[in-house]
Structure 1
């Protein structure tokens, strides 16, 4: 049975589709898109129950993101990224959780995690400076996670390097308004963030290495639920790849809707009589379905291990990451096969297909979809060979 949030997204889908064009035009989520996401409860799926969340199985979260993305790629992307932040917030100091959610459980949190800033230790916490790119959905968020390297008094990162995730309220950072002008995922509003000498109390930070391991951060936060004992580099990529797969499902749905009445200029017959096109599109649809199944299978396997109290090894994480990356590329390749058989009218701005197609390709440009290191590390791990530290990044 589908999770109640997934069912609500399905019922609200027409409103998402209707708002998608405005979202792209604005360069950020439209008010209607935000309203639908809030009504459905997507952002609260991984939020702890004591703060108004569902603490849902991450598989259910991925399915909700896919449903949103199939109707509006940008909104699905923001859900896939922002929907994981409540999961990490559950691993933070309980004082911080109350600050974020006590007044409003629907408070949204932005990121990015790239350590583009330097946090210098000062009395009671850190002084933070830096500039970050790609803060998806940031206009609608009141708090933000930022990646930062710990620095010395001169602002130089210390050696060996130590990375933090630091959390700031909206008053402590600046959104650069004109910093998001792109050809795909236009409506995500993934703008730059600037922080100038902001004080970050120690309790508003979490060690990135502890979160990456899952169990360590969960134990420190007193979390015993399987959901919160999963590794960060399993959870964060899940939402992003779910968005990409959902977008390709939207390409397929838009194609099928468009093709029902299409007449081929070459033969004068309906496209439904073109066996070659039907074969190719059906094959591509199977590839998208396989991508969905494999992504959901991977997170379900790791969740089952956490639920059973079994350790999640580096090889486990690496295999799930390998498959997750491949899912995204396979699904987008299939979307290409579909789009290329949709005729010239698919290129028109008033056809949702072209927007979804652009969004799908934009989604592949995220760092978590880079194949090289992930594939190499997984092959080495499968052979019980040593995996160099550089190849362990983002796993």
Structure 2
């Protein structure tokens, strides 16, 4: 599926690089799978995983080329995230969020980007764009305080993107924004006690009266409408629409978890009997065959929805046309449908495999826990996406959420 649903303007060189990056991710799967139980048990992605991903260039997908990054596209990020998640959902989620947060930094003024990468080209960024903090205007910038969660990837980050509100700017585009702060000026509280995606260590960041220079503030309403502060307007990647990017990037791990479930069924069914039947193997039983077909088709459907949205996002960025509201609503709907199909694929496999699914030694139970958790991120909420999209089909716009 290397070019299905791809942006028409994607170059052959970009597709070649994408294939190479996915292959690099595939080569890391044995290592990541070997560490998956420990990642889940210890509630942290091990440094070995992060070092391997960084060494393969898989944490620099959205970093500007000016700062040594690969500056790829969102289809590439989806495919790489999917491949990593086939081995470990938590590791994929962290890698995805570190890349997504790097993209956010690419929207800031040049000086802010230099703050992050000029002295440390491989600096990593975690992020919580939910406006959980407050700012007050001071000479030269702002004083920021708040608590931000869940901060996926914060254990491996040097900087953080933080969502804030500005009470003094109420009624203007600057009333809600994101700021950049060094991790060294924040405190991490261990609050991530969850059932799924345990290894992401998506803990809480705490800041108290942190000074943020003016150039490290970005208006969210401006960003939603395609008005960002980067002066490098020739860089297509950072012309992509803000909210569709925030949604579609989170589907990558879900695509991989669905694929992992289908992988497990294909591996186990030929070697196990179907309990309380005459079938010597599950693979011989029509019920399992139908389950396999439905799960695999749903996993494919999830990819097609996600890849269509990525193609729309990438194409708009490449040609320099900002998508209108209705197009962005469909992109958010595609993200919601992708996770619905991916989650259902995993459910079907779990049902086909029966109670043994939930044995602690069975990797399928971790896949199930991870997708049940990760697919419920607020920006992926399929019901909200459906309301936004359904209203847009009747010309009703802007009544559900500002994040479209």
TM-score above 0.5, yes or no = yes
Distance in 2 (CA, whole Å) between partners of 1:254 and 1:273 is: 16
| Aligned partner (choices 202, 223, 229) of residue 190 of structure 1 | 202
Deviation track 1:217-256 (CA, whole Å, cap 9, x = no partner) reads: 16x4332222211111111212211111211111111222
Structure 1 unaligned runs (5+)? none
CA contact (8 A) 1:111 1:135 kept: yes
Cα distance in 1 between the residues matched to 2:31 and 2:60: 20
Report the alpha carbon displacement of residue 190 of structure 1 after superposing the two structures with TM.
Answer: 0.4
Work out which of the residue numbers 347, 356, 367 in structure 2 matches 1:356. Answer: 367
Cα distance, 1:118 vs. partner? 0.4
What does residue 314 of structure 1 align with?
A: 325
Taking the aligned partners of 2:171 and 2:268, their CA distance within structure 1 comes to 57
Which residue matches 1:213? Answer: 225
Equivalent runs, 1:232-311 vs 2, <5 Å: 232-267=242-277, 269-311=280-322
TM-score normalized by the length of structure 1: 0.93
Shift of 1:159: 4.3
Aligned residues: 386
Give the match for residue 215 of structure 2: 203
Aligned to 1:223: 233
* CA distance in structure 2 between the partners assigned to 1:265 and 1:125 by the alignment: 67
**Alpha-carbon RMSD:** 1.6
Alpha-carbon deviations, 1:235-281, whole Å to 9, x = none?
12122111112111111112222222112231252111111111122
1:135 is matched with 151
Distance 2:114 2:36 in 1: 33
What CA deviation, in whole Å up to 9, does each residue of 1:185-232 have, x standing for no partner? 000000011111111111111111222223x216x4332222211111
Following the alignment from structure 1 to structure 2, what is the Cα–Cα distance between the partners of residues 198 and 291?
41
**Structure 2 partner of 1:381:** 392
Alpha-carbon separation, structure 1, partners of 2:105 and 2:359 = 42
Residue 308 of structure 1, CA deviation: 2.5
Which position in structure 2 is the counterpart of 1:82? Answer: 98
CA displacement, residues 132-167 of structure 1 (integer Å, 9 cap, x when unaligned)? 110001111010000000134xxxx73457111011
Q: Is the 8 A contact 2:248 2:309 kept in 1?
A: no
Query: Is 1:176 aligned to residue 189 of structure 2?
Result: yes
Please name the residue that 2:131 is paired with. Answer: 115
Give the structure 2 partner of residue 19 of structure 1: 35
Does the CA contact (< 8 Å) of 1:85 and 1:109 recur in 2?
A: yes
Q: Which deviates more from structure 2 when the two are superposed, residues 258-267 or residues 111-120?
A: 258-267
Q: 1:200 to 1:311 in 2, by over 3 A?
A: closer
